[in-house]
Structure 1
Amino acid sequence: MSTSQSRLAASVPGRLRIRQGAADPAQLGHWQTELTAWPEVQSTRLNPEARSLIVHYRIAQCDQAEMESRVLTLCNRPQQSESQNAQAQARHPPEAVTTQAPRPVKRVHRAAWRRRANRGAKIAALVALPVSIALVYAGNKRLHAATGWLFVAALSVHLAIHRRNVFH
Structure 2
Amino acid sequence: MSRIVSATPGRIRIRDKGLRQSERLARLEATLGSLQGITECTGNRRAGSLLLRFDPTAVDMAALEAAIDAAVDAEFALTVGKHPLRRKLNRYAKIGMLGSMAATLAFAASGNKRLHTAAGTIFVGCMGVHMYTFRHHLLR
Where on the TM-score scale, by shorter chain, does this alignment land: which range?
0.5 to 0.7
**2:85 is aligned with 1:68:** no
Equivalent pair of 2:28/2:75 in contact (CA under 8 Å) = no
Instruction: List runs of 5+ in structure 1 lacking aligned partners.
Output: 1-12, 39-45, 70-106
Quote the sequence identity (%).
25
Find 1:53's aligned residue among 46, 49, 53: 49
Letter in 1 for 2:20: Q
Which residue does the alignment assign to 1:20? 20
| Deviating 4+ runs (over 6 angstroms) | none
Gap change, CA 1:113 and 1:14, over 3 Å in 2: farther
Q: Is the 8 A contact 1:32 1:53 kept in 2?
A: no
Distance of 2:74 and 2:44 partners within structure 1: 26
- Cα 1:20–1:161 change in 2 (3 A) is same
Report the AA paired with residue 52 of structure 1.
G
Letter in 1 for 2:79: E
CA displacement 1:16-71 (0-9 Å, x = unmatched) = 632438x7xxxx69945634768xxxxxxx9959520388558xx8596x4338xx
Q: Distance in 1 between matches of 2:89 and 2:126?
A: 10
How much does 1:147 deviate?
0.5
Match among 109, 132, 135 for residue 160 of structure 1: 132
- Root-mean-square deviation (CA), in Å? 4.0
| Cα distance, 1:146 vs structure 2 | 0.5
Considering only CA atoms, is the larger Rg found in Structure 1 or Structure 2?
2
Residue aligning to 2:31: 34
How many angstroms apart in 2 are the aligned matches of 1:36 and 1:68? Answer: 21
**Does structure 2 retain, via aligned residues, the 8 Å contact 1:122–1:158?**
yes
Distance 1:162 1:139, change over 3 A: same
Kept after mapping to 1: 8 A contact 2:20/2:48:
yes
The answer for the alignment partner of 2:10 in structure 1 is none
State the partner residue of 1:136. Answer: 108
Q: Aligned pairs, how many? A: 103
AA in 2 matched with 1:128: S
User: Using the alignment, how far apart are the partners of 2:75 and 2:20 within structure 1?
Assistant: 23
* Unpaired runs of at least 5, structure 2: 4-15, 36-41, 51-67
Superposed, 1:46-125 pairs within 5 Å as 48=44, 51-53=47-49, 56-57=69-70, 62=74, 66-68=77-79, 108=82, 111-125=83-97
TM-score by length of 2: 0.54
| Contact persistence 2:101–2:123 (CA under 8 A) | yes
